[in-house]
A and B are shown apart, each in its own frame.
Chain A
Amino acid sequence: MSEIDATDTIRGRDPMKYVFIGPAFAVVLLIAIFPLIYSLGISLLSYRLAPPTPVRFVGLDNYAALLQQERFWQVARTTALIGFIAVALQYVIGFALALALKAKVPGEHLFRVGFLIPMLVAPVAVALIARMMFNPTMGPLNQFLSLFGLVNLPLLTQTNYALGAIIAVEVWQWTPFVVLMMLAGLQTLPDDVYEAAALENASAWRQFWDITFPMLAPISAAVVFIRLIESFKIMDTVFVMTGGGPGISTETLTLFAYQEGFKKFNLGYTSALSFLFLIVVLVIGSVYLAVLKPYLDKQK
């Protein structure tokens, strides 16, 4: 048990705690608070920069218009779909890779460095590279797939294929994040528990489910949570690969916000959208944490 509940302890009254948390708190408050307040204010206005129209107070009209717009719901669904599937795949594959690395496969150090690379590539670059690879006449993927008899698949022009392509790129890019975190977690596990289990002739599978997985549950939860939140903001990949099309079937929330905010400069609307987006993510995040809480508490 490492979180202390009572404030009435020596530590509770130690003023050092403010020194520790102070700088972070101050920086975040200063930089993040203004945009939030400003956006909230704007979301209650009808504020267009292009064409320049006079600013009007409209209260909750922006929110109402958004909630009634089919495009918003479809975009939210698409974003959630991509997010959940991609993160699930990232977690499973990433965890498996971390285990393999921990088990000291030959060439482990090379694999470790190599596996990390996709995460270090700028999302913009990843998107451009993906488009290059998926190009039917100029990229290698189509040639590769034709070896299996799948010729000229409409990988980026038909919705379901396009969604699959986007998820594949997300998995390619972010599995390293999971690998990195889970590996770091695996390295902090104490050896003695494993030694005891080995003495009892426990199989590798049992060792995993009874020892490794539960002990890493907090880190797993944290990693999946961060990945979920970040994947809701996916934009570059979709923008460059499909432009959100065909129609708007692969458009994500951030891309929608980008179109409204930076192309049409419909700022009031975009701010309302941003807050709705925030609420959506908050809800998902809270539900996620609430569901996992009893399980995590058991580990403590």
Chain B
Amino acid sequence: MKKLLTGAAFGALMAAGAAQACSPDFSGVTLSAASQTGPYIASALTAAAEGWKAKTCGTVNVVEFPWSELYPKIVTTLVAGDAAFDVITFAPAWSPDFTPYLTEMPADLRQGALWEDIAPVYRDRLMVWDGKVLSQTIDGDVHTYSYRTDLFENPAEQAAFKAKYGYDLGAPQTWSQYLDIAEFFQRPDQGLWGTAEAFRRGGQQFWFFFSHAAAYASHPDHPGSFFFDPDTMDAQVNNPGWVRGLEDYIRASKLAPPNALQFSFGETIAAHAGGQVAQSIGWGDIGVVVADPKQSKVAGTLGSAILPGSTEVWNYKTGAWDTFDEPVFSPFMAFGGWQAAVPQSSLNQQAAWDFVTFLSSPEVSGKAAITGGSGVNPYRASHFENAQLWSAIFSEPEAKGYLASQRDSIEAKNVVLDMRLPGYFSYTEVLEIELSKALSGDVTPQQALDTVAAEWNKLTDEFGRDAQKAAYRAAMGLPN
């Protein structure tokens, strides 16, 4: 199927390109693009490379590195000033460490219909650093909630649930409902467990934790105050909102399959696709895998929704909980979505930016978004509008639910951005260590988070409080 689509795309582009061969003309130019080992992202790059070659007569060589080594590889190359890569693809959380070495996107690429088509949260916030557009989003990332429609729409289950908990079974509006549902479906003797999330140190666990905490600690009236106090740069991670989030996260780990503490995101997908759990949270890949009969035992039962919210949010300014009538949804843009950028050491900057634009154009990226294994999730308005594209892999109700959950999350009023700070790994390392201790019960949630907060404040001082504050405000889209 993928080959058919790529072939079709190729053919279409060939036809279009035949009209004006090599425009703009980059014949003889060979670009090197660094990425993680395929198929995710790398296959999207390779597919785009074929199209680009037809259009401009330039070649792109995709160089792949293991995911956990991509960051050190890019840093060492940039720092040594090696001209090995013309395009680098990376996680937005790493951009503060790269920004001194990147080139700015050419001005003519930053306007027009194609530019406006990119969802605002990416276009105006994630791709921007210090007022400059230094990278291009080539993938969208947000955490959503997935559930088993066959279980949720079963009348017997619905009746039993309503009898036990007093409200209707459906996509949870708050995290406590989420936990109720997990408890309800925790049936180990039947091979069914409540939920699946990532809990393993080094297995993307902290993003899942952030998703829980966002609902309680990201106040709609105080944007940008989720991780740190934007005025003093004090760590917020040990306030009662965060603690509540951690307590929920720990409880979820007990309503999951037996080795859940070893789950990385991959195992989460596997658990849901293997029919072991009633619900899960995570990135859009869950939906794509679960709906695919070749990879899933429960194809056709995909229900998607925005992440649960909370009716109570902690207000750090007043030091008290604020109650709302309707749940406040704070979908978390976990990871943020892969970015592509052009290093200053590249010898082919113009060609590189042309390739990046081509890669993220609506046609090419749209095709990638529906190709399983490309790793590309929607980020352009046009991605969401073309439902027909999606029916290739989803059944119609699945597709509608999936797209709606993705779009609602990105466009939510209180959408929460992931943390982006210089020295990112130093901050997340201590978080991961304390999280794993809290999960195994060695320390209480409050103790774990207090340790993290103390360490974060120490790191902030070590790196320079003012510099970190400016960086944090820039990352959160606050004026300086």
Residues of chain A having any CB pair with chain B under 8 Å: 48-53, 135-138, 152, 154, 156-158, 239, 242-248, 259, 262-266
Contacts and interface: CB of A to CB of B under 8 A. Distances in A.
Top 4 A-B pairs, shortest CB-CB distance: A51-B422, A243-B202, A136-B259, A243-B201
Contacts of B257: 136-137
A52 B433 contact: no
7 contacts: A49-B79, A51-B467, A137-B257, A156-B259, A244-B201, A262-B69, A265-B75
Given A136-B259, A246-B442, A263-B71, A50 B425 contact: yes
A137 B2 CA distance: 31
- Is the interface on chain B under 10, 10 to 19, 20 to 34, or 35 or more residues? 35 or more
B350 interface: no
B433 A247 contact: yes
Interface in B245-289: 257-259, 261-262, 267, 270-271, 276
Nearest to A139: B259
A143 B81 CA distance: 52
Contacts of B75: 49-50, 265
B262 A247 contact: no
B258 A263 contact: no
A51 B97 contact: yes
| Interface SS of A by simple majority | loop
A266 B463 CA distance: 12
B100 interface: yes
Contacts of B267: 135
Interface string B73-86: 00100010000000
Q: Which of A247, A248, A263 has the most CB of B within 10 A?
A: A247
Q: Which of B203, B423, B424 has the most CB of A within 10 A?
A: B423
A136 B258 contact: yes
Contacts, number: 91
B72 interface: yes
B442 A264 contact: no
A50 B97 contact: yes
Contacts of A154: 261
B259 A245 contact: no
B203 A243 contact: yes
A266 B201 CA distance: 21
Contact of B440 (A244, A246, A265): A246
Interface in B56-94: 69, 71-72, 75, 79
A48 B97 CA distance: 11
Contacts of A158: 440
Given A50-B425, A259-B429, 20 more contacts: A49-B97, A50-B97, A51-B423, A51-B463, A52-B422, A53-B464, A135-B262, A136-B259, A137-B258, A138-B270, A157-B440, A243-B203, A244-B202, A245-B201, A245-B433, A246-B201, A247-B437, A259-B425, A263-B425, A266-B426
A6 B426 CA distance: 56
B96 interface: yes
Nearest to B72: A262
A247 B436 contact: yes
Contacts of B276: 137
Contacts of A239: 202
Contacts of B426: 264, 266
Contacts of B258: 136-137, 152
A47 B191 CA distance: 52
A140 to B, nearest CB: 14
Contacts of B436: 243, 245-247
A266 B464 CA distance: 15
Contacts of A259: 425, 429
Nearest to A152: B258
Contacts of B467: 51
A48 B462 CA distance: 11
Contacts of A135: 259, 262, 267
A246 B437 CA distance: 6
B200 interface: yes
A266 B429 CA distance: 13
Q: Which of B100, B257, B425, B434 has the most CB of A within 10 A?
A: B425
Contact of A264 (B429, B437, B439): B429
Interface in B210-237: none
A226 B270 CA distance: 41
A258 B276 CA distance: 35
A196 to B, nearest CB: 57
A264 B423 contact: yes
B100 A52 contact: yes
B262 A263 contact: no
A154 B72 CA distance: 32
